[in-house]
A and B are shown apart, each in its own frame.
Chain A
């Protein structure tokens, strides 16, 4: 039976995973960094085209305290304040470290240029031109990782289960996509950095590897999840005309910079009707804007593809060209001429505020199991500010790497292949149940995405959520075991889809169940049957598996002691 061994196993090689690998290696441990896609290319990090929020105070006066204040305000009372404070306090160190490692942040007059973004009270967001932030930071981290000999990296290994023995995480079982084998990896500490879950929804900005597997893996291992009902729907994701070669959420900065008008299908401005203070300043937070657009669609005032128009036609061509730079030509290749055509935009699943429950050292409640990046829940509460996600990936990644290295050094090295046998045998037998003429797992994934979008998406009701829950349960119990995965070994995507679907169904169930259990509307969680925020639910929901079933309990958000200074 194939088997690999390491001090620290990092699952997922996006911004958080690569940062964790570097930090763990710098703290003296060997690291194995695996990704189901190609290292540094599989998830959200490389797709992020916009900005990174950090209180550098280079553009104008700013402070960690102010960054935190804005973050907590956006979180609608539900942020884990300790985690949020960690993100804000450590952000400047990480962003400057990235610069030392080679990221060329856009500069102006000898300082890092920082822009305004909605919900931030000062110019705080740095970036790499043009729309190149994600690719640039991913390239920096890939290079750094490849320079450190203590890090071994392997592409196309998908983690399918964490191995837990006597309450400790001691490794993982991974699927080697290239030859279809399951491999046991022994590790003294494991960092789950496998990113978010937005692929669960039909309309999304996700890569194909964002099915929320980190959450299911953590849950099955015995860890807790928090705030799973809080999925951020990005209000102005691109809907039409078909646009390729760009990330679907690219419009945001231009809307702010240029004053692109958001209008309904009848070309009327409408955000101000929904209790926001947008008033032409384009600073409505994401949850408010998403809500307003879908309410217009529901009222019959949407665009043909079910969204709103983003209209730049009132802006002179020269000004458009100056602001969009080379991007304007990429748009033209797609047949989009902004001087003539408005584009259709609408909400799409974009980020997950909820996730694995950790302490400030990124420890889950399972010894030896850590989490980092978007996989972590809590720091953004009910809504995330733009730019905070990349920051969080770096900050949590570094923390998790150090913590995992410390844990690995304390852990004993004992490992017996028998430890993995039970998990391996169980997983192998799963695939054998499939019938040859049964449905392919990808078809069930498509059904699940539709179901989640329509019944657990931006607008929720008790009825819709209940019906979603029963179908998901049926898919998990009846359809999943019967899916066809074929007997092919080499690069069998059906097999990878099957394991992904297995995790997607568990994660979807946690989202729907927590959404059902929260009878109020707050931030990104909007219940049409309970449209008002209710102070009694100024609490977080924590989920775990108890006696084989999902169990939920309410906890009071972790608050900072305001008398203490915030430090990193």
Chain B
């Protein structure tokens, strides 16, 4: 496979808390073929803004099923949603109560404090 070098991806990410102001932050990051949206979100946390709230566990196995978000308006597992060198918008799931940024309340009611 030929790797396309020196490309960048751009992510427009919804930030904020319930009830408060919501805004979008745009991040630019190095793009490699095959990367997932979650790869990009993790890269952003490690390199650009660690305060971004995201939820995931298994990273790329698509086994834990906890990394869902709206990717360009569609409900997707961010770990298998492919990144592209274009602008991608990531938002929290609309039908779940928002916790912060991309994290919504997806934990069953009987698994809470």
Q: Which residues of A are interface residues toward B (Cβ below 8 A)? A: 2, 4, 37-39, 41-43, 46-47, 49, 134-135, 146, 153-157, 176, 178, 183, 206-209, 241-248, 334-335, 341, 440-443, 446, 484, 486, 488, 490-494, 497
Contact = CB atoms under 8 A, between A and B. Distances in A.
A245 B50 CA distance: 25
Contacts of B65: 41
A341 B62 contact: no
A494 B51 contact: yes
Interface of B: 1, 17, 32-36, 39, 45-47, 50-66, 79-80, 82, 99-101, 103, 106-107, 110-113
A46 B64 contact: yes
Nearest to A48: B63
B99 A178 contact: yes
Nearest to B18: A490
Contact of A244 (B80, B106, B111): B80
Contact of B66 (A38, A176, A242, A334): A38
A105 to B, nearest CB: 19
Contact of A41 (B46, B52, B64, B103): B64
The main secondary structure of chain A at its interface with chain B is loop
B113 A154 contact: yes
Contacts of A209: 57
A151 to B, nearest CB: 10
B57 A493 contact: no
B110 A153 contact: yes
Contacts of A242: 32-36, 39
Contacts of A243: 34, 60
A335 B45 CA distance: 27
B33 A241 contact: yes
Contact of A491 (B53, B57, B80, B111): B53
Nearest to B38: A244
29 contacts: A37-B66, A38-B57, A38-B107, A38-B111, A41-B57, A41-B65, A47-B58, A134-B63, A135-B63, A153-B111, A178-B113, A183-B113, A207-B57, A208-B58, A241-B33, A244-B36, A244-B60, A244-B62, A244-B79, A244-B82, A245-B80, A246-B61, A246-B62, A334-B34, A335-B34, A488-B100, A490-B53, A493-B53, A497-B50
Contacts of B100: 488, 490-491
Sort A-B residue pairs by CB-CB distance and give the 4 closest, nearest first: A242-B34, A440-B50, A247-B61, A41-B64
The main secondary structure of chain B at its interface with chain A is loop
B18 to A, nearest CB: 9
A248 B61 CA distance: 7
Contacts of B45: 442, 493
A335 B33 contact: yes
A96 to B, nearest CB: 25
A244 B34 contact: yes
Of A39, A155, A183, most B-chain CB atoms within 10 Å: A155
A248 B60 contact: yes
Contacts of A4: 113
B60 A241 contact: no
Given A241-B1, A493-B45, A494-B51, A246 B60 contact: yes
A167 to B, nearest CB: 29
A341 B80 CA distance: 21
A5 B17 CA distance: 31
A2 B58 CA distance: 30
Contacts of B58: 41, 46-47, 207-208, 247
Contacts of B32: 242
Given A208-B57, A244-B79, A490-B17, A46 B63 contact: yes
A548 B46 CA distance: 32
Nearest to B80: A245
A304 B110 CA distance: 48
A207 B58 CA distance: 4
Nearest to B81: A244
A142 to B, nearest CB: 10
A9 B20 CA distance: 37
A132 to B, nearest CB: 9
Given A146-B110, A154-B112, A38 B50 contact: no
Contacts of A443: 46-47, 50
Nearest to B56: A208
Nearest to A146: B110
Nearest to A204: B59
A493 B53 CA distance: 7
Given A46-B63, A207-B59, A241-B33, A493 B50 contact: yes
Nearest to B101: A491
